Structure 1
Amino acid sequence: MREISQDELAANCGTRFASDERPSSEKLWVAIDGYVYDLTKFEKLHPGGKAVLRMVGGQECTKEFYALHNKSVLEKYHKRLCVGKLKDSEQNLTNFETSSAMSKEEEQESLASKVPFAEIPLLRPNWVRQPWWTDSHRDFLFDLRKKLSGIQEECEQIEKQGKYVPDELQEVLGKEWNLLSCLNGTSVMPIAQKLGLVLPGGLQPKEFDLFHEYIAHAEFGRRIPVGTRNGLAGGMAISLPAIAHFAGNMPEALREQIVADVLSGKKKSCLAVSEPQAGSDVANIITMAVKSKCGKYYIVNGIKKWITGGMNADYFVTAVRTGPVGSGMKGISLLLVDKSFGGVTLKHIKTSDAMAAATAWVYYDDVHVPVEYLMGQENKGFRCIVANFNHERWLICAGVVGSLRTILEDCFLWATQREVFGKALIQQPVIRQKLARMIGGLESLEAYMDSITYQMAHMDSFTQMIELGGPTAILKFQVTRVMTMISDEAVQIFGGRALTASGLGKNIEQMQRTFKFASILGGSEEIMADLGVRQAMAMFPQHARL
């Protein structure tokens, strides 16, 4: 790439304003971050009009550019418009020039953010690594991040345009990249191993652990907008582990085929528990399943609501009442309903994230479900639901923590480049106080997540249900409380840009519009807090006194 002098840059200043006595030229060049860009033709296409470009024609305008745009805009147009490097520039060159000869270490370094606290401790170069992190986690993370970065723009367009996630994208993540397997926990890995899948970073399914899954949810939270993320994997991640773990009454080959089809993106699954009459109060669901006279089917009738991914699902892990009305949790069973059985009708629910989430009403009208599609034991499905809830709540937390890293990174970057009253925002003590609250909250969540994840990884499902139900509920409560705080502080740091769905504050706008989803789904904050304390009291020593 050739070097361009300051004089040559100044000579290509574009057509000036009529009132400007300085000489003009046919070409309009500007310098940003040490690179020189030819905007002569782009001037007519510039969304902000010609005038703002003419004001900086022939000049170094890095400061002016970053007051209006984020780096992704430069990345988008760099190859098309860049004509050289500015000679003797004091600006730090952004690394747009990637090389196929880069070593693995150099490529990974290029994918890691240098912004304080933007990365988990695993990626902080001078930190001593915690014992649960390994090189396989690091390789897994960077390969996953590279793949997700490649579809990030497409996913943002799906979110904006009000579309469902296309089947082609689902299959790329499933069949081509084997990413969907990484969002479903260790219960699907024996089937993934049989299928010969190789996970990101060259990881074999038998080597996959909960910290790999933690990374997967966190990276999806960082890179993929919440509506599209839920459409791609939200319903699947809270239903497929239950199919793999509890659908033991059906022939093994059939169960494995269902799991394989969903992992490949060929089919989709969702969890259908919530009802209009019973949201978090699962013990009082009224969708009924009655045995047919021949004894070969459960006949299901009822309504489910707020079913993430339901509009596009093929399989519905459905909570039903098989015991008498009023029997509470003792009369609940879990069935796997295949839409092809007939009698399943879907209706889209418009929510504040995006149509891409495919949130649905699900209506069951005399759906005949073969008895071998019973998951677990009849009238003992509540235990399966609770065990599944622990994983659901944990993965919600992992996705939130990942998304909060992006928000903190954006706030740091904006505070250092935005000038107000002659100073960068970061020079204002009130802004540093806000950042400190965000850092403290997020770093505390990271430690809590690591602790719970380590315990989950070393407990069987029954022990998890007894020991971790309460702590996981408290974790989710704390995660969403911190998310509320960070969303609020981020909006104040970004000001009007935090209310704008594009540009510099788009991530902040999306969070402040959708952060309450995590506070409600999987059990509301109030239910989580109460559950955590009630479970703690169940183990309270009888004779303890102050």
Structure 2
Amino acid sequence: MKTFTVEEVKAHNRPDDCWIIVDGKVFDVTKFLNDHPGGKKVLVKVAGTDATKQFNTFHNEAIMQRSGLPLQIGIIETATNKSKQELKVQQNSSTRKQTDDVKTTASTTILSNKDTKFGDGLPYGDPTWYQGWNSPYYNESHAKLRRVIRAWVDKEIAPFCHEWSENKEIPRSVLKQAAKVGFLAAASGAGTNSKMASLLPYGLPAGISSEEFDIFHEFICVDELSRAGSGGLVWALQGGLSIALPPVMNFANEELKKRIVPECLAGDKVIALCITEPSAGSDVANLATTAKDTGDFFLLNGEKKWITQGAYADYYVVACRTGSEADGMAGISLLLVERSFEGVSARQMDCQGMWGSGTSYVVFEDVKVPKTHLIGKLNEGFKYIMHNFNHERLGIIMQASRFSRVCIEEALKYALKRKTFGQRLVDHAVLRNKLGHMIRQCEATHSWLESILFQCKTLPAETQAMTLAGPIALLKAQSTQTFEYCAREAAQIFGGLAYTRGGQGEKVERLYREVRAYAIPGGSEEIMLDLGVRQAVKKCAKL
């Protein structure tokens, strides 16, 4: 890219020839003057000068990616030298035998990032292992993966989240892109399912093999995508996939597995889980949708509500009653229903948040479902639903935990530059107190999550459900309440900017609307707290 001196930029200081400098980059904004939301005079006033301070005061990073960079015509000469130095450092780093310093002990592998800290270094803006802390949970492959996923998110996802959210639609091309990056395979649970290795159309992200891919790799993928600060985006890409595809992967017949799993992981088809009904949410055992065995097929009738990705899904995994009402949970089965079947309809719901995730109301009217589309055994569907509940809730926890951190990151960045009464916001003790309470809750939640993920990685599969169901339920409540607290306090720090959609408070405003979508689905906070204690009491009875 062409280089300029500061003196050269100074000459372009008129409305018909307007250049500005932002962070060492040179922009020709002449044709943009009339389109500037703040009016053209705002730009003309700083024509020919370094407007970095003014830009950072009123804009977020996404604006630069989306609107600024297309106007860039060069860089300042000093910035070139800096870029060359940074490139040299990166090249030296990439030629190291190992990307991170990995120390092996008799019992574990400890990753040290002392020489290769990751991210922009904002305190608590990233997990501690990104910022020079040693960790027993991660190795070189995890560090490699986070670089790949963050680069993808920062360039292709984060700058467009507000636009997609406002349109209430995520382009289908983004889903395909997520598939090619390997994100869909990672976030769906297929990455940690060794039996699915041959069905992954694009493999796993960062070229990681199925043998080395673990739950912490999945965590990094979900965590990094959530850093974009849009629950609607996360759910649009994998909200239905991560809860509907596992029953197919684990319990469907081979014909269904070989056809449906690759299609969904390739981003060519979308799958949604249909459990919740207008009158049955967490009380799964009392759902009313029925599937009558006619001999040749099941005749499916009923309604499902709040179905993530349901508006544009090609497949539905439907929980339905195949036994009598008296059978309760023992009379429930899972059917794989294709959108093309006659009698299937879905309409998008207008919800408080999660825009673009395709939350929908799905109706089944005399739908003929082939017997081959029964997932697992008849009347054992409740067991299959429960089998994936821990994984579903862990996904919610991962997202809520990072969203709490996003609120901290955005609030701290703003508090460092915004001044009131002659001081930066961060210099006011009352605001530091807010940040302190946000940070302590976020870090505690994250540490508990890593501890539970380690148990998922190391405990025998047959013991995990009973051992971890209670702690995961409690952690879900912890994570969503922390998220709600951080969203509220971040909104207070941003003030009016967090009340306006778009702009500097964009992420915080959007996340504040999405809190309820985490506190209720997957088991409400009240039910999670009760479940966690009931599980503990059961163990007390055995003492």
- Structure 1 length normalisation: TM-score? 0.88
Aligned length: 520
Q: Which SS does the other structure have where 1:453 is aligned?
A: helix
**How much has 1:308 moved relative to structure 2?**
0.5
Q: Which SS does the other structure have where 2:323 is aligned?
A: coil
AA of the residue aligned to 1:170: L
**How much has 1:460 moved relative to structure 2?**
4.3
Which position in structure 1 is the counterpart of 2:103? Answer: none
Equivalent residues of 1:218, 1:400 under 8 A apart: no
Q: Which has the larger radius of gyration?
A: 1
Which position in structure 2 is the counterpart of 1:403? Answer: 403
CA distance in 2, matches of 1:526, 1:515: 15
CA distance in 2, matches of 1:211, 1:160: 32
**How much has 1:78 moved relative to structure 2?**
4.3
CA distance in 2, matches of 1:11, 1:258: 61
Change in CA separation of 1:366 and 1:43 when aligned onto 2, cut-off 3 Å: closer
CA distance in 1, matches of 2:10, 2:474: 60
Q: Which SS does the other structure have where 1:539 is aligned?
A: helix
Moved more, 30-39 or 421-430: 30-39
**How much has 1:121 moved relative to structure 2?**
2.5
Identity across aligned pairs (percent)? 34
CA-to-aligned-CA distance 1:32-81 (integer Å, 9 cap, x gap): 33445444443333221122223334444332222211234344424634
CA-to-aligned-CA distance 1:320-352 (integer Å, 9 cap, x gap): 112211332222222222233332121221112
Change in CA separation of 1:375 and 1:445 when aligned onto 2, cut-off 3 Å: same
Of 120, 127, 132, which residue of structure 1 is paired with 2:133? 127
Of 214, 221, 229, which residue of structure 1 is paired with 2:226? 221
1:199 corresponds to 2:204: yes
AA of the residue aligned to 1:117: Y
Equivalent residues of 1:349, 1:360 under 8 A apart: yes
CA distance in 2, matches of 1:50, 1:217: 40
CA-to-aligned-CA distance 1:188-222 (integer Å, 9 cap, x gap): 55323355743222111232111111111111211
Which position in structure 2 is the counterpart of 1:55? Answer: 45
Moved more, 214-223 or 35-44: 35-44
1:112 corresponds to 2:113: no
CA distance in 1, matches of 2:257, 2:458: 26
Change in CA separation of 1:96 and 1:48 when aligned onto 2, cut-off 3 Å: farther
Q: Which SS does the other structure have where 2:340 is aligned?
A: helix
Change in CA separation of 1:9 and 1:341 when aligned onto 2, cut-off 3 Å: closer
**How much has 1:530 moved relative to structure 2?**
0.9
Q: Which SS does the other structure have where 1:367 is aligned?
A: strand
Q: Which runs of 5+ in 2 are unaligned?
A: 100-115
Change in CA separation of 1:230 and 1:104 when aligned onto 2, cut-off 3 Å: farther
Change in CA separation of 1:403 and 1:96 when aligned onto 2, cut-off 3 Å: farther
Matches within 5 A, 1:176-191: 176-185=180-189, 186=191, 188-191=193-196
Change in CA separation of 1:244 and 1:430 when aligned onto 2, cut-off 3 Å: same
Matches within 5 A, 1:128-207: 128=134, 130-152=135-157, 153-163=159-169, 165-174=170-179, 176-185=180-189, 186=191, 188-195=193-200, 197-207=202-212
CA distance in 1, matches of 2:494, 2:209: 43
CA distance in 2, matches of 1:151, 1:224: 14
Aligned-residue CA RMSD in angstroms? Answer: 2.8
CA distance in 2, matches of 1:528, 1:490: 26
CA distance in 2, matches of 1:159, 1:197: 27
CA-to-aligned-CA distance 1:92-130 (integer Å, 9 cap, x gap): 999699869943847996972211111122311x211x2
CA distance in 1, matches of 2:505, 2:241: 30
Equivalent residues of 2:187, 2:222 under 8 A apart: yes
Q: Which runs of 5+ in 1 are unaligned?
A: 16-25
Of 259, 266, 273, which residue of structure 1 is paired with 2:268? 266
Matches within 5 A, 1:33-48: 33-48=23-38
CA-to-aligned-CA distance 1:235-287 (integer Å, 9 cap, x gap): 1111111210122xx2x143222111111111111110001111111111111
CA distance in 2, matches of 1:222, 1:54: 35
Which position in structure 1 is the counterpart of 2:372? Answer: 372
CA-to-aligned-CA distance 1:138-184 (integer Å, 9 cap, x gap): 11111112122232134442222233x3433322222x322210111
